[in-house]
Structure 1
Amino acid sequence: MKTLLTNGFQHNRNLLFILICVLLLTCQLLPQQNLFSSKDSPDPFSELTSGAVPGNGGYEPAASSAQAFIGTKNLERFGCVVASAGDVNGDGFLDFIVGASGNTNSTGVAYVFYGGLVMNTVPDVILLGETVNNYFGASIAGAGDINGDGYDDVLVGAYGAGGNSGKVSLFYGGSMMDNAADLYFNGEGVNNFFGTSVAGAGDINADGFDDFIIGANGANSGNGRVYVYYGGLNISGTADLVLNGTAGSYFGSTVEGVGDVDNDGFADIAVGEWPWSGNTGRVLIYFGGSPMNATYDSEMQGPEPGAKFGKSIAGGRDVNGDGYVDVAIGSWGVLSGVGRVNLYYGGWAMDGNSDREFYGHSISDFGYSVALGDVNGDGFGDLIVGASKGRGQVFIYHGGRNMDAIVDGAIVGEEGETFFGTSVANARDMNNDGYEDLLVGAFGFSVYRGKVYLYRNTPSGSDVPDYYLRSATGAQWWGSVVASAGDVNGDGYNDILVGSMSYNSNRGAVNLYFGGAAFDTIPDVTFTGEYGGNYFGRSVAGAGDVNGDGYADIIVGAPRYQAWVNGQYTYVGRTYIFYGGLGLDGTPDVIMQGTTVNENFGWSVSSAGDMDGDGYSEVIVGAPNYVYINYSSDTIPNAGRITIYRGGAVMDSIEDNSMTHGGADYYVGHSVAAAGDVNGDGYSDVLVGSFRYKNEADVVVGAVWLIYGGRIITTWPDLYLYGPEYNSQFGLSVCSAGDVNGDGFSDFVVGSYRKGYLYLGGAIVDTSKRVIFDQMLYNMGNFYYGTNIAGAGDVNGDGFSDIVYGWPVENSGNGRTFVLYGGASMDYTPDLIFNAVYSASYSGSSVACAGDINNDGLSDIVVGARGNNGISVNGGGAMIYLSSAASVYPRIVSVKDVPGDQGGKVNITFFKSGYDLPGSNKVTFYRVERSVASSTGALAWNLLETVTAVNNLYYCYEAATQSDSSSFIYRVTAVTNNNRESWSSNLVTGMSYDNLAPASVRLFRGYLESGRVVLHWKENTEEDLFGYVIYRGNSSHIDPDTTTPIAVVNDTTFSEEVSQSGAWYYFIRARDIHGNYGPLSSASDGPLPVELISFTAKSKGNEVQLKWKTATESNLYCFEVEKKIVGGNDWLRSGEVPACGTSNSEKNYFFRDVNRITGDYEYRLKLIYSDGASAFSNVIGVTIDSPQDFQLGQNYPNPFNPSTTIEYQVPVKSMINLRVFDITGNKIMTVFEGEKEAGYYKEMIDGTGLASGVYLYRLHAGGIVITKKLMIVR
């Protein structure tokens, strides 16, 4: 079968120029994403979480965060190609290979590095080229285990050998692998360039040995050839199959084993000929087989001359979770070097139509290299794209059932023409931690010495920031304070605040950054102090929704604001509240002011939550230098106080409650925070710190007070907590920790000079049960450990809140930040560590939960670093760490009928829990359960089996069903030794089938004997055979579904008396006990009948895929595909597939049908003959299940002009509102408003009359709001 892709650009040059300009203008928005945020589920990882694209203050030196391997000499071009080598030495760890084709006047070298728990950067095996200009190492590949000895082998090409005839060396792996080639393969003649490309192909012919392929793009005068070699115990130098290119196509310029894209049990290969047709480029896919043939099965073409489509090819990973591996193809020449990558989903009959397209954002050679691998550990393959021009970048796109083309992460090369991203490869799991790793080559590093970067995935350990925020104002000590603002602008994403009170002669400023799927590092709103010396921004916080308008609000303190008091200007301090909303600006809506001399009102600020249960948030303000005059008229300096202001529809600046309880120099209110609901009474509580408080023995230890909310707010403490020792400064910081142990009560943390204390909430707080985070346990030798501490939200998605704390003076002021994961039994060992980006940066000066700024379902973290920011010694900055921990919830990938059986079983494939790790016994086993679907929604789970956790990425369990063709619901639960810690997967429905219909009845013959028609046939062999159904008609074709049978028998003969003269035709088909019918057979002595061997259907989302096969055909014109809803009367025509006419060989057919409404459908084939006669096939059923949740797809095409299409899905009957807004929030149009049944829908947007630019489209459905961006290009 051959399919053709010709979806090229047909726009004129002016439009292309405009498109390039728009792409360039938006390039700062698109790539600013977490490298590892999944489309469908939370996901991991630390080291791979890298920096943003340069510009706008993005964190640039991301490539320096990986383990680096550097070439040995200038001009070596180390890293021109990189590849996984498999396990060449049999130690249980995967290895990798690096080519250095420029070594020693282009003689060339290839280096093998062994994987392991700890890797060094010294090559373990060095493979040497033979003579100059051989370019040995210009192509390399892991070949798999070619000879079946249990060790993986490697291929190295030298296309320049023998006057460019070319040569390839095969090196067998072994426990003591050497550098002597075990086999050589030579080109056929001068300028063949044999070995231009090499690849492991997997097992093409299913003989149990891995196979390999070699490209020679200069063979046959530039037509090109590809040589296929089958593995085995004895391999010769002769190819088992030769594939030939067409005139001048340079066939074989790239070759790649792409896995089994059609799931037929044979590995498949892809061949690129990117110089084809004026460098348009083409890729041909050949399906494996036994034997494999030389005819390609699918064809993909580039979009335009010069595209160089097929320069890079990758496969072998299932990106969209449909059970088929997919293929990615790069064309770095598109749009004069902007570049593009096309993604093609695998399937029964893979076609040449691109399923997703990804574009570069500048002239960057995007697509020069591509790879597929699961970099975020969510079970979906991800797309890795190299854009190698100049400095170079690598972009990550996360796979998922609804994968979009928005960049999820970017890694930037080091300074200079390093060509970072020239080569990328999925290194697979090199250190056996259960997660795949990534290799990136930069052959231009240091005068073409070259460098390779290994990024290891790990669910804990060191992490690097996803974004680095610098002040655009040049302020000093930026990042002295950071906070989550909540969703200020109502777009569904949490926003963040970063401030510096030192800006502009201590005037102070705070930047607000809106969260979003395309987060950028440009402030969206800036708030500044009123004049120099205000210290505006000394404290900032999200205020909650104080006025009940549905938008989160912001509170900022300026403790050095001066006012006229008692005949003098003095530092009374001010606090400002800014209401959230679409029209948010820098003007405060409420201003509160201190009243006494030098009280520093606003030194600390916080939301207090809804303390009185009226639906409005309160705020709390600290004034630690407040002078208290007691009942005896004694003046008590620096007693401090806190003030609570109640929210309301019209909030005022009049204090509602205040408290001091302070002695001299107690500094009450130095820290304040909302505590959440600590005692579970339904009201929010608050914390107040007094770090110089004296205990009953008159010793300065520090104290914290917990004040419970209630219908009537009081400021008298409900709980006193005292520091453990003299001058511990207990209460320097206070914060809510969320519910870290999952008991339903909010917990809280108190920071001191060198320790942090976690207190667990409860109806009665037990202060003896606390967790102490003590820096001395780590021998870190510095204080200020615990002075900056905050609740982190649920960073790793395990259902327990986590804690983040900074240590800014660690390592001579570099600073460090730690994250502790919550749990039923939490300890004090850090699970994540954020190291300083720059020396002397004081990283961890401030820390905060950022909320979920990218809507991936996990909490993110913002860390301030007030010192060196790489540009200015005291410039300061802030780092954003997007969620970086593996999902602890296992995920069922599929529940599929066991193929080729008589029913009763399904295969459940699930992806592991993030806690299923080597060296960890956190997850001990998985519980596999089944439930019958219930109309009430109540599920009764039946335990099928427990599966031991053994650190696999995927598990597969064969489960029994209660009956065939009935839906059952399945779930998998990860179980620990703690009965309070377990995590259940998604629910997936599946059913088993008797999917073996009886075969065609063979040797069906008839004759007349003594006035009777006698029929006989060969017996079928199916164990579940019910019998044979016999039909009679007066034409050569009948519809067996509408024709009444004349008999049903279980013998192999039948006769009947002839009652009238004429021509009669007899037909037969077998039936099994489950009601499956075999193909219809005819007893006619005329032309060959159409013999339908098989007819099957499968559903994928709202798509039905039909596949059928004929053994013979006679004068058959076409197949019409008909369908109807089960229970309905009318058959509807879905489409038409041309037939082959007359044939004595098997023919395969395929048809896709899309159903927008869920339900049960029946399909049949109408066979139309050249003479106008028709017949029908058997009827098959298929179910289009309701979507599991509301989803809004990315519009396509995007950018567009003038129209685009939006797809969305509705799980239950709901009112739907789909609208388009401009970027400021003004409604532009209503696309659809009304009620929709459960199903899959698409709407068309006509952009005629709209200006070029970015717009938002938003789906309101069933209480769910989903927002995405689209772009119009004129």
Structure 2
Amino acid sequence: MKRIILILSMILFGILTAGNYITEEQDFSGIKSLNHESNNVYKISETGKFRVISSDILKNNFQNQENLIEIEPDWITYSVLFTRYGDGISAGDLNDDGYDDVVIGAPAYDTSGAVFIYLGSVNGPSINPDKTLFGTDIGFGNRVDCKGDFNNDGYKDLIVGDPFLGAGIVWIYYGSSTGISDTADNRLDGPMGVINFGYCVSSADVNGDGYSDLIASIQKVYNDTLDVGAYIYFGSSSGISPLFSWTASVPASLNCWGLYYCVSDAGDINNDGFDDVILGSFSNYIFVFFGASNRGIYEPADEVISQPYSGFGRSVSTAGDINADGFDDIAIAAEKAFVYFGSQTGLSLNFEIINSDGNTVTSAGDFNNDGFNDIVSAEYGYPGKTNLFFGSQAGIDTTPVILNGEAINLSNGDINGDGISDVVGAIDNRDICGFGFFGSSERVQYITFTPKDTALFQTDQLCINAHVKSQYGLPMSGVSIIYNVKGANSASGNSISDSTGVSRFCYTAQSTGRDTIIASYENIYDTAFVVWDYPLPVELSSFTSSVSERDVTLSWSTVKELNNSRFDIERAFDNEQMTVDSWSKIGNVNGNGTVSEPRDYTFTDKNLNSGNYKYRLKQVDFNGNFDYFELEGSVIIGIPDKFSLSQNYPNPFNPVTNLEFGISELGLVSIKVYDALGREEVTLVNEIKEPGYYTIKFNAANLASGVYFYRMTTGDFVGVKKFVILK
């Protein structure tokens, strides 16, 4: 019954602690041819011998993650479900054959816990384990590490955490030419008064003597003033010392919970020749302890970092040297993944936040073999995924490469012996429980043209971009792309991709017709198509409008003209539909025939009523051929700011004239015509009108020649004008 309860507790604990889980700019002109298709705020204070660094304000700009590449695993393995398979995982060369081996712990396997060992090879590890180690109670294999060489004999050694057996035990298996034995070569028992000793294990050379040292976490308040999160045991020619040399301790006043959950080698953050230790927690704190040849047993942390993110510190790890500056960096999981950079004085105040809901984060080694270490973060849940982020001189690239594998824990190593780091991960309760992704140098995998289809005039120049991407879906610079044009025209050339992965090629057609453009690199290629047409008689450089009360002035300029007779100006009422109901010709302007210099034109459309209007030019040559150019957008004639009555036109007239008036607010409007003696002859308007400009046509066929007056009244406004009828 005890074992069943512990198994269920471990599964539940795993669930609870798993955590909260290229754009191109194109410039378009206003002319449309209608006949062609960390603001970071830090507080730094001295507390004892360590710095406290906290971030109060975080502003993140995360890159667009659409169309990301998903990479399938190169190695997979399976396990019995509900065994907590993957709680512990590590990779190291236990038999010094040149291939790192994968070690995966399953602490709830059967009633004893188990550790599965998969030996690396040129094709990667086998699907089935080559060796299985068993404990005596559940918890064996809760965490594993095989990256250290404690006796410096050239073989990586394996340590296995067994935290629930008594006060906790760390089992030590020394590597050899035949790998590790079936039984442990040594063991470390939890000191008196602690529990969960060895819940998390790691290795690092913290005293710089050439022997890896063992790091084991514990759970227990050591005394009233200190919480001890981990013990450090020195390596030697005879292996691990039975006594701890110093501790990763924090002030009890911080009231940090979960110190035992994650402790890790931090690499050499300040490049002083000593590996450092990083201790996580469930209280949004992480602690960094600098290695030294002689460090006090309870010497406090050298750096303490806090962030206001849920789960900050639930997973901590060395990140390797991400920017290749000689200082190792660290990675921390939270709602986002954090990367802090090392420096001569310790952790830099500059850090990067990665848009990855990382339940666990660790170094990926140099996965793409570019000289910069990378990191990998796993999101545990449905759907879970593993995100790979590449390092660079500028820091971490926040655009992820998606590794199609879900993991609760991750590690790295060279499991196929090609000299390039690989990523391994594992998780329980899935069809595929363990996976490995082989790292490789970046190579050209994709070439994509933009634009793919183009229609141009023969006198134009085509400039086309080829976007070059690697097998990881990321831009590649410095790639020489070869271009060949076949079809109506012939051209060739090459162009080197820039820092954004874009290679550009331009050419001008000599003939009309269809061309196929081919961009290639080795056996990778893409094609684009362009149709070249005869040039237009007129090339416009601009077409704009301006409004003055009821008048619209259109202005346009030509670059050059060929056989240009005139421009007809056409107007339509904007019905806010995709197509305009009807266009009306409202005037014309003579062209300049054939000229090679720019020419400017204007036309004013006067006395418009309130509303939205669209305009276009109908360019006509001397042969009767024509083309349209439409003004982008609508021209708006608004409402007047006061009442007005304008003089009619024409005046004198026979028999029709135009009367215009403006209404600034809703109201009853009356317009009447009187003869010279003041007798009312005609009522033109007698109704409620909306605000706006109005024009009415008055037909005086029934009136005799003479002088007349027309009078407008609305509200307090009265306006009177005179007109003359001549017959």
TM-score interval for Structure 1 and Structure 2 normalised by the shorter chain: 0.5 to 0.7
8 Å CA contact retained: 1:3, 1:351: no
CA displacement, residues 477-513 of structure 1 (integer Å, 9 cap, x when unaligned): xxxxxx9443x4xxxxxxxx5xxxxxxxxxxxxxxxx
1:322 maps to which residue? 325
Indicate conservation of the 8 Å contact 1:77/1:103, yes or no: yes
Change (3 A) 1:353 1:712: closer
Contact 1:298 1:351 in 2 (8 A): no
The question of whether the paired residues in 1 share the 8 Å contact of 2:94 and 2:155 is answered with yes
Report the Cα distance in structure 2 between the residues aligned to 1:186 and 1:285, rounded to whole angstroms.
Answer: 25
Change (3 A) 1:791 1:548: closer
Once the two structures are superposed, residues 616-646 of structure 1 have per-residue CA deviations (whole angstroms, 9 ceiling, x without a partner) of xxx83xxxxxxxxxxxxxxxxxxxxxxx3x7
Partner of 1:399: 391
- The amino acid of 2:329's aligned partner reads D
Contact 1:260 1:324 in 2 (8 A): yes
Decide whether aligned partners of structure 1 residues 412 and 351 sit closer, same or farther in structure 2, where only a CA change above 3 A counts.
same
- Matches for 1:718-733 after TM superposition, within 5 Å: none
Structure 1 residue aligned with 2:437: 455
Counterpart among 98, 103, 106 of residue 97 in structure 1: 103
Q: Which residue of 1 aligns with 2:88?
A: 81
Q: Distance in 2 between matches of 1:547 and 1:714?
A: 10
Cα distance in 2 between the residues matched to 1:103 and 1:173: 24
Following superposition, the deviation at residue 146 of structure 1 comes to 0.6
**In structure 2, distance between residues paired with 1:142 and 1:80:** 15
1:710, distance to aligned residue in structure 2 (A): 12
Quick one: distance in 1 between partners of 2:375 and 2:214? 24
Structure 1 residues 270 and 849 mapped into 2: Cα distance closer, same or farther (>3 Å)? farther
Q: Which of 199, 212, 215 in structure 1 is aligned with 2:214? A: 212
Deviations 1:1017-1057 (A, max 9, x none): xxxxxxxxxxxxxxxxxxxxxxxxxxxxxxxxxxxxxxxxx
**Corresponding position of 2:266:** 258
| 1:442 Cα deviation after fit | 2.5
Shift of 1:454: 0.6
Within a 5 Å distance, the mapping from 1:411-430 to structure 2 comes to 411-413=403-405, 420-427=406-413, 429-430=414-415
Deviation at 1:259, TM superposition (A): 1.6
Matches within 5 A, 1:859-898: none
- Say if 2:492 is the partner of 1:676: yes
Question: Structure 1 pair 356/711, CA: closer, same or farther in 2 (3 Å)?
Answer: closer
C-alpha deviations, 1:117-153, integer Å up to 9, x for none?
123222222121112xx31111111241111222110
Map 1:704-783 → 2, pairs under 5 A: none
CA 1:208 to 1:150, structure 2 compared with 1: closer, same or farther past 3 Å?
Answer: same
Aligned with 2:141 (options 128, 133, 137) = 137
Deviations 1:309-341 (Å, cap 9, x if unpaired)?
22111215111121111111112xxxxxxx112
Describe the SS at the equivalent of 2:198.
strand
The equivalent residue for 1:311 is 314
Distance 1:67 1:87 in 2: 17
Instruction: Tell me how far 1:269 sits from its aligned partner.
Output: 1.2
Quickly say closer, same or farther: Cα 1:676–1:175, change in 2 above 3 A.
Answer: same
- Does 1:441 pair with 2:169? no
Higher strand share: 2
Residue by residue, what CA displacement relative to the aligned partner does 1:1184-1239 show, whole Å, maximum 9, x if unpaired?
A: xxxxxxxxxxxxxxxxxxxxxxxxxxxxxxxxxxxxxxxxxxxxxxxxxxxxxxxx
Whether the 8 Å contact between 1:135 and 1:158 is mirrored in structure 2 is yes
Residues 675 and 353 (structure 1), Cα distance of their counterparts in 2 relative to 1, 3 Å cut: same
Correspondence for 1:69:
77
Deviation string 1:722-778 (CA, Å, 9 cap, x unpaired) is xxxxxxxxxxxx988xxxxxxxxxxxxxxxxxxxxxxxxxxxxxxxxxxxxxxxxxx
**In the TM superposition, what is the alpha-carbon distance from 1:104 to its structure 2 partner?**
0.7
Determine which of 193, 197, 222 is the counterpart of 1:194: 197
Match of 2:526 among 844, 848, 858: 848
TM-score scaled by structure 2? Answer: 0.55
C-alpha distance in structure 1 between counterparts of 2:493 and 2:355, whole Å: 48
Q: Deviations over 1:199-245 (max 9, x none)?
A: 011x2212221111100033538934311111012334221223333
Is 1:5 aligned to residue 5 of structure 2?
Answer: no
In structure 2, which of residues 146, 152, 156 is the aligned counterpart of residue 148 of structure 1?
152
Match of 1:349 in 2: 345
Distance of 1:397 and 1:546 partners within structure 2: 46
- Aligned twin of 2:114: 109
Is the alpha carbon distance of 1:154 and 1:404 closer, same or farther for their aligned partners in structure 2, counting shifts above 3 Å?
closer
* Structure with bigger gyration radius: 2
1:30 corresponds in structure 2 to 65
Tell me if the contact between 2:423 and 2:438 (Cα under 8 Å) persists in the aligned partners: yes
How many pairs are equivalent? 443
Take 1:251 and 1:130, find their aligned partners in 2: how far apart are those partners? 26
Q: 1:226 maps to what in 2?
A: 230
Of 123, 131, 140, the residue aligned with 1:125 is 131
Q: Which residue of 1 aligns with 2:243?
A: 238
Secondary structure of the structure 1 residue equivalent to 2:222: helix
Contact (CA 8 Å) 1:484, 1:850: kept in 2 or not?
A: no
CA distance in 1, matches of 2:342, 2:363: 16
| Aligned partner (choices 523, 528, 538) of residue 803 of structure 1 | 523
Indicate the residue corresponding to 2:294 in structure 1.
Answer: 291
Aligned in 2, Cα 1:353/1:169: closer, same or farther, shift over 3 Å?
A: same
Q: How is 1:563-962 mapped onto 2 (pairs within 5 angstroms)?
A: 609=485, 620=487, 644=488, 676=492, 792-793=520-521, 802-804=522-524, 848=526
Contact 2:81–2:428 (CA under 8 A) maintained in structure 1:
no
- 1:377 corresponds to which letter in structure 2? N
2:294 partner SS: coil
Report deviation, 1:352.
Answer: 6.2
- Equivalent AA in structure 2 for residue 452 of structure 1: G
Q: Which amino acid aligns with 2:330?
A: V
Per the alignment, in what secondary structure is the counterpart of residue 141 of structure 1?
strand
Per-residue CA deviation, residues 384-439 of structure 1 (Å, 9 max, x unaligned), is: 111112221111222112235531311234xxxxxx13212122x22221211111
- How much does 1:191 deviate? 6.2
Q: How far is the alpha carbon of 1:792 from its aligned partner?
A: 2.8
Give the Cα separation in 1 of the matches to 2:272 and 2:508: 66
Contact 1:251 1:271 in 2 (8 A): yes
Q: Distance in 2 between matches of 1:264 and 1:545?
A: 66
Shift, 1:545, TM fit: 9.1
Who is 2:163 aligned against? 159
- Cα distance in structure 2, aligned partners of 1:243 and 1:677: 62
What is the percent sequence identity of the aligned residues? 22
1:542/1:95 Cα in 2 relative to 1: closer, same or farther (>3 Å)?
farther
Q: CA deviation at 1:608?
A: 7.7
The answer as to whether partners of 1:140 and 1:157 remain within 8 angstroms in 2 is yes
Name which of 169, 175, 191 aligns with 1:173: 175
Using the TM superposition, give the Cα deviation of residue 262 of structure 1 relative to its aligned residue in structure 2, in angstroms.
1.0
Paired with 2:194 and 2:366, the residues of 1 have a C-alpha distance of 39
Q: Which runs of 5 or more residues in structure 1 are unaligned?
A: 12-18, 34-49, 52-61, 332-338, 414-419, 467-482, 489-496, 498-540, 555-606, 610-618, 621-643, 647-673, 679-708, 716-733, 737-789, 794-801, 805-846, 852-1274
Structure 2, unmatched stretches of 5+, are 1-48, 467-482, 495-506, 530-727
Distance 1:74 1:367 in 2: 21
> How large is the RMSD of aligned CA atoms in angstroms?
3.7
The separation in 1 between residues aligned to 2:310 and 2:302, in whole angstroms, is 19
2: CA distance, partners of 1:710 / 1:195 = 71
Q: Deviations over 1:257-282 (max 9, x none)?
A: 1221111111111112x22xxx3x21
Which amino acid in structure 2 is aligned with residue 268 of structure 1? D
